[in-house]
Structure 1
Amino acid sequence: MTEDHGPDEFGRRLQRLRHARGLTQRALAEPAYTAAYVSTLEAGRARPSDAALKHLADRLGVDTDELATGRPAHLAARLRLTLAEAQAELATGDVELAARRFAEVLEHAEREELTGLRPAALLGLGECALEAGRLDRARAHFEQAERLLADQPLPARAAAVRGRAVTHLLAGELRYSCYLLETAIDQLGAAGLHDPDALLLLYSAVIGPYMDMGAHARAAQAAELALALAPDATDPALVAHLHRSVARTLIAEGRTAEADRSLAKAQELYQRLRLTGDLAKCHWMRGYVHAQADDLPSAEAELRTARAMLATRRAELFTHQIDVELADVLRRMGRRTEAAGLLTTLLDAIGSERGAVHAAGAHRLLGLLAEDAGDSAAAEEHWVRALSLLERAGAAGDLADLCRLLGDLYRRTGRTELALDVYRTGLGHRAAPGTTTLGPAPAAPVLPAPLAGTP
């Protein structure tokens, strides 16, 4: 229930405090005011001036904000401290404790009308829900935060937009995730709001869905623009996240050594900031880099490290995504039974609504394992399921690769027409590399010119 700060409620509060201290109206009023003035205030027929409020608060021995609103003294400061503690807990691993603290801040902020704290608490709750794989709940928190910030400049809403886009990405809605992020980037440019932190946040976030859609050229462009923004950014966590995101584009271009160096920079920053969730994702991507270079033992070690770190945070959705990468490494190492068990457990836990791209990846690998075992029927079943998931998500790069696998299977089993149909589907998705069906890429931001004499 929201506190009523009108004159009637103020009058009742003033009278309660006066009686509790055993003061008469005259004793409270003097020497600056009269008993009649105090009587008028207590009856709710007038509001006190700032000077009168300070006088009355001093006489009653309370804080002026507490007298004016009924809030305990320094409540806002205490809640900001709780908010900071919640953010620290989220960064270092205790997601459940972080969620409880964010919820505590939100409850008090709503009850006491501390509107400035509500969006930050909602953003924190959204991040906690994301870690736990509760995408609908996370999206609701991000949407509510965005509504509360509707009258604020777009940079203030960037984190909420990014959070909402990530929920759609993890649900397999790649195009809509791109649409949200591209729209925000364009709006920042149109409004002339060159905010390095907001732009860096949005550009780093859009690299992931671009890569999943096979739009590698657009992802590379976003990475270059984000790197150009990095020197002006004020948040080191954003810069670390940037290096992690850029590594994806370097891997896609076959530049694994550069990707590893970028990840090392990110890892150093995350260790310094003690952001264990993001540090785990660095280990995850370094595992992927090692796998691309056929260093499978190192890949397994990095992926298991990442998995263990995320498991302690109960970040199930991200843990399942790592399992897909780990299963591929195990298959390539000849540990097929272990890989199949990991993927089957994963599919029992993850639904298409919570990660179509990653469920498709699991089916793709199970198809490869079935083909290795000579079971073409099982391989076909898994690849058809994966194809359906990827078509719905619009993951063009993965879809083209899967069409090749399925087409080859049809051709080997004498179904030439089916093979041709599947190959055509794959070619359709590879016809325009580096593009999406979203229309033009966002306009590049106008970067500040370097100072004279700088390199």
Structure 2
Amino acid sequence: MPSQGSIGDRVRGLRLSRRMSQAQLAGPDLSDSYVSLIESGKRTPTPVVARLLAERLGCTTEFLLHGIEPRQRIDTELGLRHAELELHHGDPAVAADRFGEIVKAADEDNVMLAAQARLGRARAMERQGKVGRAVEAYERLRKEAAAHPERLADLPLAVALCRCYQRAGDLLRAKDLGAHALAQVEKLGLVHGDVAVDLAAILAEIETGLPYVERVLDANGLPDAVDRTNEIQSLWQASIAASEGEDSALAVTLADDALAAGRAGRLAVRTAQVAMQWARIITARPTVDEEFAHAAELAGKASDILGVFPAEHVEHARSLTVLAHVKMRGGDHAAADELATRTLERLGETQGVIAASAHLIHAHVALARSAGDVVPTLMKAQELLQNGQAAGPDREAARVWRELGDLWGKAGSRHEQFSAYRRALEAVGIRANMPGSTAAAVLTH
């Protein structure tokens, strides 16, 4: 059966294969000129007309409208859902492969399903850390969204690209995209849902559009979180079993249930990340007591939420360091010291920025208490930063290098202080050879 890419192509192909004229296909109900307009792509048949044409052409309405038979379509829909489950609750690499298979199978037959699969594949590449490839994919999808807004929405793509460019170190491009997305959500009055929270998260990371970030936090709050991983996995496995038993409709329903079961948790995690970043920003600048108290409350709730989900142990560890800085700002050095210890216990043997930050908290506390030599602690933090440094630009690492430089200065080692400041600049892509240069200007813009 012909399966050309447009409805008009399919109508014409089926009509010719049945040796029918346009007048014969039109019959007493339609005009042959109307059939001609449909075949040329200048008219889209209504559902009633589509059913009528399908009956005369001897095909299903589903095939006429979408290019695939009902069973093919439901199997493709199921494939999309299983790929989505892999993306959120499984292996992003497997998800990318599955989305890619759907693109190959659906591209010529159903542009909507193909567009969804291409978007899924871009998200999967981003989750794998393949930022360059994800950017290329998202940029292509934005062009498609501009040409065919009925297939894809621009706003989620702009948010995703903002996030990717920030991670790639192109802060100017990230801020441009953030401003573009912010203008769209402001026009819509959008402060709830996945898109709003995702935008707030990246705006908080690049420290722009902060009034909107605050509105999103106020509108959504920080809900109690429940880890439903076992339920999700059970529904997912039941969906796979149903598909293997040729019950595709049930398999889709079960997959939908699995995705729905995970949505509240995913949104809670993203909102907690927004709150964590917000608390970090507020704590790092002069604030009134009321604003600081709110930041402290948000940091505590965010850490509690992230601690519920075993898969978020790294984000939970990061939140503990933010909360520790909040406690230090409030003068509770004992609590800050305990949180730093919990961070290191949570990370285990993991090296990198978060572990280094925890050691710096210990150093802050020791200096505040005038309790012993902090040099070994600073050396350990420096070692962790060096061993865990990301290949590309990393503003979080830059902040921690700068903090290390400040602490080396307090410890009286100017050589190590300036070396750490240079590493802070290098972490955001700037080579600094001037003696005595600092990272302050770069890291606050």
Question: TM-score scaled to structure 1, two decimals?
Answer: 0.60
Are residues 1:281 and 2:315 paired?
yes
User: Which whole-Å deviations, capped at 9, do the CAs of 1:308-367 have from their partners, x for residues lacking one?
Assistant: 9xx9xxxxxxx85535535545766855565444322223xx22xx33324534654776
Partner of 1:122: 118
Are residues 1:182 and 2:186 paired?
no
Q: Mapping of 1:78-227 within 5 angstroms?
A: 78-112=75-109, 114-150=110-146, 151-152=148-149, 156-190=153-187, 192=188, 194=190, 196-197=192-193, 198-210=195-207, 219=210, 221-227=211-217
SS of the residue corresponding to residue 183 of structure 1 reads helix
Partner of 1:246: 275
Deviation at 1:163, TM superposition (A): 0.8
SS of the residue corresponding to residue 152 of structure 1 reads coil
Deviation at 1:194, TM superposition (A): 4.6
Check 1:105–1:229 CA distance in 2 against 1; reply closer, same or farther (3 A cut).
farther
Which amino acid in 1 is paired with 2:118? L
Which amino acid in 1 is paired with 2:125? A
Check 1:338–1:106 CA distance in 2 against 1; reply closer, same or farther (3 A cut).
farther
Check 1:143–1:12 CA distance in 2 against 1; reply closer, same or farther (3 A cut).
same
Check 1:202–1:366 CA distance in 2 against 1; reply closer, same or farther (3 A cut).
closer
Please give the alpha-carbon distance, in whole angstroms, between the structure 2 residues aligned to 1:90 and 1:301.
29
Deviation at 1:209, TM superposition (A): 0.5
Check 1:360–1:110 CA distance in 2 against 1; reply closer, same or farther (3 A cut).
same
Are residues 1:301 and 2:342 paired?
yes
Are residues 1:71 and 2:68 paired?
yes
Deviation at 1:132, TM superposition (A): 2.4
Q: Which runs of 5+ in 2 are unaligned?
A: 29-38, 40-44, 224-259, 284-291, 328-332, 365-373
Among 327, 344, 348, which residue is 2:386 paired with? 344
Aligned residues: 351
Over the aligned positions, Cα root-mean-square deviation in angstroms equals 4.9
SS of the residue corresponding to residue 153 of structure 2 reads helix
User: Which whole-Å deviations, capped at 9, do the CAs of 1:392-447 have from their partners, x for residues lacking one?
Assistant: 59xxxxxxxxx9xx9xxx9xxxxxxx66xx58x95x789xx9xx6xxxxxxxxxxx
Deviation at 1:116, TM superposition (A): 1.8
Q: Is the 8 A contact 1:99 1:124 kept in 2?
A: yes
Q: Mapping of 1:305-320 within 5 angstroms?
A: 305=346
Please give the alpha-carbon distance, in whole angstroms, between the structure 1 residues aligned to 2:282 and 2:378.
29
Q: Is the 8 A contact 1:65 1:73 kept in 2?
A: yes
Q: Is the 8 A contact 2:272 2:306 kept in 1?
A: no
Partner of 2:256: none
Question: Which one scores higher on RCO, CA 8 angstroms, separation ≥ 6?
Answer: 1
Please give the alpha-carbon distance, in whole angstroms, between the structure 1 residues aligned to 2:360 and 2:270.
25
Partner of 1:387: 425
User: Which whole-Å deviations, capped at 9, do the CAs of 1:116-170 have from their partners, x for residues lacking one?
Assistant: 2234333332332223222111111222222222243899322211110011111
Among 249, 252, 267, which residue is 2:306 paired with? 267
Q: Is the 8 A contact 2:393 2:427 kept in 1?
A: no
Q: Is the 8 A contact 1:158 1:201 kept in 2?
A: no
Check 1:363–1:246 CA distance in 2 against 1; reply closer, same or farther (3 A cut).
closer
Check 1:301–1:101 CA distance in 2 against 1; reply closer, same or farther (3 A cut).
farther
Please give the alpha-carbon distance, in whole angstroms, between the structure 1 residues aligned to 2:150 and 2:53.
36
Q: Identity of counterpart residues, as a percentage?
A: 16
Q: Which runs of 5+ in 1 are unaligned?
A: 16-24, 34-43, 312-318, 394-402, 411-417, 437-455
Check 1:331–1:98 CA distance in 2 against 1; reply closer, same or farther (3 A cut).
farther
Which amino acid in 2 is paired with 1:284? R
Please give the alpha-carbon distance, in whole angstroms, between the structure 1 residues aligned to 2:129 and 2:165.
12
Check 1:121–1:179 CA distance in 2 against 1; reply closer, same or farther (3 A cut).
same
Deviation at 1:64, TM superposition (A): 4.4
Partner of 1:452: none
SS of the residue corresponding to residue 149 of structure 1 reads helix
